[in-house]
Amino acid sequence: MIGVFSKWQPRYAERGIATFPVTAEKTPATKGYLQTGIRGSAQLAEKFQHADAFGFACGRQSKVTLVDVDTADEKVLADALSVYGDTPIISRTASGGCHAWYRHNGEQRRIKRPGDLPIDILGGGYAVAPPSQIAKGAYEFLQGGLDDLDRLKPMAALPSQPISVPLPAKWLGMREGDGRNTALWECCMRTGGGASLDRMMEIARNANQTFMEPLMDAEVVKVAPQPGTTTPLV
């Protein structure tokens, strides 16, 4: 039986969005997923015919920025829309939260910090796409859909400036086996040593996107130092 990814890959591709399979735990199932193009996406749909979940790269490549409301509280979604503007596309995540879709306008990935509202700005990295089905549940369009992508407008207000940490030039071409884990750990410690785990994660994720071949997010989570860490990564 053909899975959700293979069924929907052509529909997203028709609208210029390259997709890739993800696991039931929302982890990308391929390496170099953020560099996946339309042709490569079609090849993956042939290879992963039984995958029921898939994602896409947010930001410049897909021309989509998502406001990720990580709560089922409709008031928080309403507050987010009042700040960033109405949008024709809103989707529900498997956890009960929502994604509000906007036309990308240079936004970066911004992960909430302690004390912030449960809202992330996904102008980079990746997001699981509807109608994916994962272990926790299903993603679905609540309002609008792919036919409304041409109607997306940029966010009405710019999010707060994310933590952006450029890596040294010698690190930008890093691929598997080049020491990316150590590079990210050093970047975190140099920029946010002693900071909260959320801030460490934001630093690590932003830096990871500058690699020629970014690490999978699950690996980035392992690399980010715990608060108060002072010893080198082993």
How confident is the model over 61-83, as pLDDT tens digits?
A: 999 999 999 999 999 999 999 99
How confident is the model over 73-131, as pLDDT tens digits?
A: 999 999 999 999 999 999 999 999 999 999 999 888 887 754 567 888 999 889 999 99
**Phi, psi angle pair for 29, to nearest 5°:** -90, 0
Q: Which residues pair with 21 in a beta bridge?
A: 54
Could you give the maximum distance between any two Cα atoms of the chain, in Å? 51
In this structure, the chain runs to a length of 234
Tokens 């690399």 -> residue = 223
What pLDDT score was predicted for residue 160? 57
What pLDDT score was predicted for residue 232? 42
Comparison of pLDDT for 195 and 63, the residue scoring more: 63
What pLDDT score was predicted for residue 234? 37
What pLDDT score was predicted for residue 57? 95
Rg of the chain over Cα atoms, rounded to whole angstroms, equals 18
* b/e map 129-154, b = 16+ CB within 10 Å: bbbbbbeeeebebeebbbeebeebee
How confident is the model over 210-223, as pLDDT tens digits?
A: 777 888 888 888 87
Enclosing H/E stretch for 18: none
Count how many Cα atoms sit within 13 Å of the Cα of residue 222 in the half-sphere of its side chain: 10
What pLDDT score was predicted for residue 174? 79
How confident is the model over 133-189, as pLDDT tens digits?
A: 999 999 999 999 999 999 999 999 876 544 445 566 666 677 788 888 888 888 777
Q: Is the pLDDT of residue 231 over 60?
A: no
